[in-house]
Amino acid sequence: MAIANESHQEEKNMDAHHGAGRYWLIWGVLLVLTVVTVVTGRMHLPSFGLLLALVIATVKGTLVTLYFMHLAEHRGANRLVFGVSILFVVLMLVIPMADLGTRFRGANPPGSQYSDLQPADIGTGTQRGRFGGGVRQTETKDTPETPAPHH
């Protein structure tokens, strides 16, 4: 019975017809936020740049789900499903990051920011191979970083 009531309520909400104007308004806000995130992103803000970009993206995402995807008019079950999936995303992000942030320093991969060790030489060249890329030998010949062969 409760489910039937919920269906009825949702149907009523979806039937309550809004003008198309609301979609255009949301579109305008999304475009403005895109410009804001591009402008602030190009400033390369030192510490809170990533945080700011993620906050703006979250606001944009919320607008899309609430109004374009009609979550604002949907009832409990749909909101529960979406909310739980977002909660799991946050858990999936937080737990590995907490692990990485609290590791014994020597357990981080050599060459990474939190390691004292040099990156492993994977044997593709004395200078370049250390960076983990299989640099093509033929194309590295006349770059300034590669010392010219002695004759």
Partner 1 sequence: MQSSAHTADGAENLPRLAGHFASLEVQNHAARLGMWLFLATEILLFAGLFVCYGCYRFLYPEAWAAGSRSLDLTMGTVNTIVLITSSLTAALAVHYAKEGENKKVGVMFALTLLMAVGFLVIKYFEYAHKFHIGTLPGRYYHYEGIQVTGIPLYFTVYFCSTALHAFHVVIGMAVLSVAMVRAFRKKDFGPKNYTMVELGSMYWHLVDLVWIFLFPMLYLV
Nearest to 72 by CA among 21, 121, 14: 14
Structure-token pair, residue 28: 């305008």
Q: CB-wise, 38 or 126, nearer to partner 1?
A: 38
- The Cα–Cα gap between 104 and 115 comes to 10
Q: CB-wise, 112 or 151, nearer to partner 1?
A: 112
Q: CB-wise, 104 or 151, nearer to partner 1?
A: 104
Give min distance, CB of 151 to partner 1, in A: 24
Give min distance, CB of 77 to partner 1, in A: 5
In angstroms, the first-to-last Cα distance of the chain is 90
For residue 111, give every residue at least 6 positions away whose Cβ sits within 8 Å of its Cβ, in sequence order, or none: 117, 118, 119, 120, 130, 132
Where do we find the tokens 């004292």? Answer: 116
Give min distance, CB of 150 to partner 1, in A: 22
Q: CB-wise, 106 or 133, nearer to partner 1?
A: 133
- The Cα–Cα gap between 133 and 122 comes to 9
